[in-house]
Structure 1
Amino acid sequence: MKIAIDFHIHTALSPCGDEDMTPNNIIGMSVLKGLDAIAITDHNTIENCDACMTVGLKHNLIVIPGMELQTKEEVHLLCLFKNLSAAKEFQSKVYEKMSIKENLSELFGKQIIYDDKDQPVGENRRMLISSVNMSLEEAFRDVDLLEGVVIPAHVDKSSYSIIANLGFIPPNLPISIIEISKNGNHGALMEKFHFLQRYKSLRNSDAHYLHDILERESFIEVEEKSIFGILEALKAGNIIGGS
């Protein structure tokens, strides 16, 4: 079964996310654009996943709980989980290794937590855009133990990507899929870094604004239309669009 996806969407909980990125707005726009499944991937936190998943259920949209982790190497990783419980367990590990510095909302933006009615129920005071004291190896290990999936984010970007920061992909990391930015040039990237051709590539939006969310342009093949089916497809590299 072919489904249209966007697995890199930020809510207003990410300090760089627009305040219009509320659960109902995100789900509504995703449905309007014809998507079958999305992932909520705020910076170093999953605290808006619950509300987004609740709204998603009402609209028959699959919402995967996720996180865009910033490792101690300053590499961004998309971490996708089988359920909210697993995502919360990983979040606890991340919070333990996060700086005690507080967010400077006047400089970086607010970090708003919503309920499923789009009502603010809190503000995360942690500095979510900082690196977590967790290595790439630790991140892959901990997500794997929770039966999740890790995808290196926006490998074509000049900052916060595994290529920009390391210059290569460590062969010991169990990577099968890499993410390319919404407007990234896949051909030019593969020509510049030939070793990337061994990986399947997935295009996501990295949406911080509602209009950024993908149309029906990035696809995967699943045997079962569910979070479990999607994670299994990603582990198998069943990417059929988005490159």
Structure 2
Amino acid sequence: MAVIDLHTHTTASDGTNTPTENVRLAKKKGLQAIAITDHDTVSGLEEGLEAGRQLGVEVIPGIEISTLRHGQDVHVLGYYIEYQQQGLQQELKKLRNVRAKRNELMVARLNELGIDITMEEVKAKQTQPEGNVGRPHMAEVLMDKGIVHSMEEAFEQYLGREGKAYVNPPRISPEDAVRLILRYGGIPVLAHPGLYDDDPLIEELAAIGLKGIEVFHPDHTDSEVDKYSRMAKELHLIATGGSDYHGERNGQVFHSDLGSQPVPREALEHLKQMKQAQDEQAKKEL
């Protein structure tokens, strides 16, 4: 069992637990620290940070930004991002508008495939009214209707990159996400690189300011963990990781349980050191 988890989701996006519930679960499992990294939103951070203070669990403010490269999703994590800045809030609103459009297109594609599903049903799965709606909510509806029997099947058959209903409208690039995170004081880290089959991207992003890659992830094989550990060392990047915990849907945990990944405590220390160095450099430039 790890003592830290640097990748978790809440009801602010497509997780099923509130930020407070994630922190409580971390406390129960004996974790010392977790990051809250919701998709394209920072709306759960205040609650999570307060819960962390009350329960004695260190909470790292974060985000997971959705981008597009060569027709596929690429996610960039941002740790210690200055989430209260108005400029960031405006940029994230634009990203959420794209996400909403994508949801509509995917529901329309499912309808074309003869599946009776509405956006109202999908939105009903979001327990926090102002939270983001995403593909896990669609998967939950598909399970309810008996179209699929698991989250994995929903993504393999319909919602994932090779799925029949997969749609990806234009959105910002991974390079844009790295620059956005840096602009607002965050530490950019490429999420689950093993899902992209695009290792040249890592070196390209490192050249413009990427600070880390998510080596430890439930969807990575042992050989991928070894490969990305080597790449992190070669490119002088921080090797991070996390469970990508989204809570439970229909009794199934997605992607894996909180604290399930063997993330070294040193990863968090390196993130803190990087944040301190960035802040000191920013002061010098004022």
TM-score (norm 1): 0.70
For residue 125 of structure 2, the aligned residue among 103, 110, 115 is 110
For residue 263 of structure 2, the aligned residue among 215, 218, 243 is 218
CA separation of 1:128 and 1:80: change in aligned 2, threshold 3 A:
farther
- Residue-by-residue CA offset, 1:132-158 (whole Å, 9 max, x unaligned): 73222222122112221111001122x
Secondary structure of the 1:25 match is helix
Secondary structure of the 2:34 match is strand
Q: Does 1:184 align with 2:220?
A: yes
**Aligned partner of 2:125: which letter?**
K
- Residue-by-residue CA offset, 1:41-98 (whole Å, 9 max, x unaligned): 1111111121111111101112122211111322111112255414x64232121243
Pair member with larger Rg = 2
Secondary structure of the 2:5 match is strand
Q: Is the CA contact (8 Å cut-off) linking 1:79 and 1:151 kept in structure 2?
A: yes
Which residue in the other structure is 2:144 paired with? none
- Residue-by-residue CA offset, 1:98-134 (whole Å, 9 max, x unaligned): 3263853524763343xxxxxxxx3346669977732
Q: How far apart, CA to CA, are the structure 1 residues paired with 2:53 and 2:178?
A: 29
Q: How far apart, CA to CA, are the structure 1 residues paired with 2:169 and 2:198?
A: 13
Percent identity reads 25
Which residue in the other structure is 2:172 paired with? 134
Which residue in the other structure is 1:232 paired with? 272
Which structure shows the higher helix fraction?
2
Q: Is the CA contact (8 Å cut-off) linking 1:176 and 1:200 kept in structure 2?
A: yes
Q: How far apart, CA to CA, are the structure 2 residues paired with 1:202 and 1:125?
A: 25
- Structure 2: any 5+ residue segments left out of the alignment? 104-118, 137-167, 277-286
- The aligned runs of 1:39-58 (5 Å cut-off) are 39-58=35-54
CA separation of 1:64 and 1:230: change in aligned 2, threshold 3 A:
farther
Which residue in the other structure is 2:19 paired with? 23
Q: How far apart, CA to CA, are the structure 2 residues paired with 1:6 and 1:14?
A: 18
Which structure shows the higher strand fraction?
1
Which residue in the other structure is 1:123 paired with? 130
TM-score (norm 2): 0.61
Which residue in the other structure is 1:61 paired with? 57
- The aligned runs of 1:67-82 (5 Å cut-off) are 67-73=63-69, 74-82=73-81
Secondary structure of the 1:85 match is coil
* Structure of higher RCO (CA pairs closer than 8 Å, 6+ residues apart): 1
Which residue in the other structure is 1:4 paired with? 3
CA separation of 1:24 and 1:132: change in aligned 2, threshold 3 A:
farther
For residue 173 of structure 1, the aligned residue among 208, 211, 218 is 208
Q: Is the CA contact (8 Å cut-off) linking 2:187 and 2:274 kept in structure 1?
A: yes
